[in-house]
Amino acid sequence: MALFGTDGIRGLANSELTAEIALDVSVAAAHILVESSSNKDHQPTAIVGQDSRASGEFLEAAVVAGLTSAGINVYRVGVLPTPAIAHLVAESTCDLGVMISASHNAMPDNGIKLFARGGGKLDDAIEARIEARMGEEWKRPTGRGVGRAINDDTATERYLKHLLASVETPLKGLKIVVDCANGASSFVAPEAYRRAGAEVIAIFNQPNGWNINDDCGSTHLHKLRSAVLKEGADVGIAHDGDADRCLAIDAAGNEIDGDHILTILARGFKARGKLNKNTVVGTVMSNLGFMHAMKESGIDVVTTPVGDRYVLENMIANDYSLGGEQSGHVIMRDLANTGDGLLTALQLLQEVVRTGKTLQELASSMVRFPQVLINVKEVNKALLNESAAIAAAVKSAQERLGDSGRVLLRASGTEALVRVMVEAASDNLAEEIARSLADVVKAELG
C-alpha cells in the first residue's frame, strides 16, 4: 500500500504513523531536495509546523531530526494552521515545508503534509520518489555539514500580516463567534478577526493535546450554533483541526456550507471584476443547488474529482481564481496557493459588510438540494463501471429525476466501498432512489 494518500501521509499516530516513518520520510525528502537543487553550494532550508495534537510533539522531533541529520536547516514555527506553513514557504526562500497534522480527523490520528518551494503541495511523482528512497543507505554529513534547528518566533506575526493584507473592508460592527476546534487556529484566528475589526467570541480555543476536533470544529457545528444564538452574534465561523477549512452559521442558526460560501464569494468576485474567466471550480460532489445558483448568476462552473488538490490543479492549469469544495476548502489564487480557512472567513465576512446584507440573506441565493450519501461496503469497487445493470439503474434514476436531481456513483479511493450520492427535490425522493441504487450495487458487486 502506498504511504502517501491524496493529502500527504495520515494514520494512527505511533501505530501506523511512527517516529521512525517520520524520520525516514524526512531524510528521503532531504536527499531529493539536495539532489534537485541547482545551487550545490546552497544549504537547503525547511519550515516545520504542527497542529495541537500531543503526538505532534514526537513526530515534529522526528521530522526535525531527520532533516537536520541530512544537512537541512530547519525553522520550527510551532502550532500554526496548515495554510500558514504554505504561506511562510511561499514568502521565503525555503525549499520545503512540513506540516504535522491529520486535519479534521480524530485526535489519535496524525499526518505529514509536504510543501514544495513556492508553497505548493508536492506532486504525486515527487511523493513517489520520496517513498522509494525511504530506508536507503546514505552517507551522513558531519561537523558543519549537519543542519541546524532554529525556533522562528516571527512566524505567527508574519502570517497575521498576510491575512490582514486581504482585508479591504474592515469588519467593524460585526459580532462573530469562532470555533477553533482546539486546533491549529486556536491562537491566530481570534486575533486575526479582532485585528480585522470584528467583535470576537472564541470557543474551543484551549488545546491541551487531546481535545482537538473533540465534538467541536467544522465537523461538529451544534455547539457553535448554540453559541451564536446565545450571544446574538451575526456570524459563527468554524475551522477544522488544521484550519484549511471554513464553515459558518448565520444569525438564525442555519448551516452555511462550502457550496454556500463559494456561491457568495463567486458573486462578490464577479461584481468586483476578480473572477477570472467568469468561472468557478467545484467538484463532482458540489450540490446541484450551487450549480443552479451559478447558472442564474451567469457564472460558469468546472468540476473536478473530489479533493482540493484536484481543484487547485485545474485552477492553475486554466488560470481560474476561485474554487472549492462543499467541505469548506476554498482556494482563492490571488490570495494564496492553497485552501485557507482564515482567509476564506475574512473574505466571507467582508461580503457581509460590503453588501450590508446578513449572512442569511446572502446564503439564500443558493437553495441547497437534499442530498443523500450511502456507502456500500464490502463490494468489488473495481467492477463498478463494468456492470450493465448498475449503468441501467443509474440511467433510469437520472431520467426519473430530470433537471431537478442528480445521481453520482463513485468508488472510494481509500476503502473497499462504493459511494452512492443522490440529490433530489425532496429528502424522501433522494432517500428512496439512493437506497434502490445501493441495493443494485450490493447485488452486482457484493
Whole-number pLDDT of residue 93: 84
Weakly modelled stretches of the chain, pLDDT under 50: none
On whether both 74 and 92 belong to a single domain, the answer is yes
Q: Say how far apart CA 174 and CA 357 lie, in whole Å.
A: 12
CATH number at residue 191: 3.40.120.10
Residue type, 365: S
On whether both 393 and 359 belong to a single domain, the answer is no
Residue 247, in any domain of the structure: yes
DSSP summary character for residue 231: H
Whole-number pLDDT of residue 349: 98
Q: Say how far apart CA 115 and CA 25 lie, in whole Å.
A: 13
* Cα separation values, 382 from 1, 83, 134, 167, Å: 16, 35, 30, 47
**In angstroms, what is the C-alpha Rg of the chain?**
22
Which run of H or E residues covers position 46?
A: strand 45-50
C-alpha cell at 95: 525549499
On whether both 359 and 375 belong to a single domain, the answer is no
Whole-number pLDDT of residue 196: 98
Tell me if 372 sits within 8 A of 422, measured CB to CB. Answer: yes
On whether both 65 and 119 belong to a single domain, the answer is yes
Whole-number pLDDT of residue 7: 75
Q: Say how far apart CA 279 and CA 90 lie, in whole Å.
A: 25
Q: Say how far apart CA 122 and CA 53 lie, in whole Å.
A: 24
Whole-number pLDDT of residue 39: 63
CATH number at residue 409: 3.30.310.50
Whole-number pLDDT of residue 446: 84
Residue 197, in any domain of the structure: yes
300-351-290-298 Cα dihedral, nearest 10 degrees:
-30
Residue 14, in any domain of the structure: yes
C-alpha dihedral sign at 97, 103, 108, 109: negative
C-alpha cell at 191: 486575533
Residue 216, in any domain of the structure: yes
User: Which residues, in sequence order, are CB contacts of 187 under 8 Å at separation 6+?
Assistant: 79, 156, 205
C-alpha cell at 99: 506540516
User: Which residues, in sequence order, are CB contacts of 382 under 8 Å at separation 6+?
Assistant: 411
Whole-number pLDDT of residue 306: 84
Instruction: From 307, 245, 415, 305, select the one nearest 6 (Cα to Cα).
Output: 307
Residue 161, in any domain of the structure: no
DSSP string, 171-202: -TT-EEEEE-TTTTTTTTHHHHHHHTT-EEEE
Q: Domain boundary at 98, 123, 156, which?
A: 156
On whether both 332 and 375 belong to a single domain, the answer is no
User: Which residues, in sequence order, are CB contacts of 233 under 8 Å at separation 6+?
Assistant: 175, 176, 177, 201, 227, 251
Q: In the structure, how many helices (H) and strands (E) does the chain have?
A: 14, 18
In the chain, how long is the greatest CA-to-CA distance?
72
What digits encode the pLDDT tens for the residues 368-417?
999 999 999 989 998 999 999 999 999 999 999 998 899 999 888 667 78
Instruction: From 329, 359, 88, select the one nearest 198 (Cα to Cα).
Output: 359
- Cα angle 12, 182, 234; round to 5: 135
DSSP summary character for residue 426: S
Q: Domain boundary at 105, 132, 156, which?
A: 156
What digits encode the pLDDT tens for the residues 32-89?
887 876 666 778 999 999 999 999 999 999 999 999 999 999 999 999 999 999 999 9
On whether both 152 and 266 belong to a single domain, the answer is no
Residue 4, in any domain of the structure: no
On whether both 173 and 117 belong to a single domain, the answer is no
On whether both 47 and 137 belong to a single domain, the answer is yes
Q: Say how far apart CA 347 and CA 168 lie, in whole Å.
A: 9
Q: Domain boundary at 317, 342, 363, which?
A: 363
Is residue 218 helix, strand or coil? coil
Instruction: From 123, 95, 112, 100, select the one nearest 30 (Cα to Cα).
Output: 95
Q: Say how far apart CA 205 and CA 79 lie, in whole Å.
A: 12
Q: How many CB atoms lie within 10 A of CB 24?
A: 20
DSSP summary character for residue 243: S
C-alpha cell at 380: 468489488
Q: Which domain holds residue 380?
A: 371-445
Residue 34, in any domain of the structure: yes
* pTM metric for this prediction: 0.91
Tell me if 110 sits within 8 A of 56, measured CB to CB. Answer: yes
On whether both 279 and 375 belong to a single domain, the answer is no
From edge to edge, which strands make up the β-sheet containing 149-151?
9-12, 109-116, 96-100, 45-50, 73-79, 149-151
Residue 1, in any domain of the structure: no
Tally of domains within the chain: 3
Whole-number pLDDT of residue 264: 98
- The catalytic residues are 103
On whether both 92 and 221 belong to a single domain, the answer is no
On whether both 41 and 96 belong to a single domain, the answer is yes
C-alpha dihedral sign at 30, 33, 37, 39: negative
On whether both 285 and 415 belong to a single domain, the answer is no
C-alpha cell at 436: 434502490
The single residue listed with the C-alpha cell 496557493 is 337
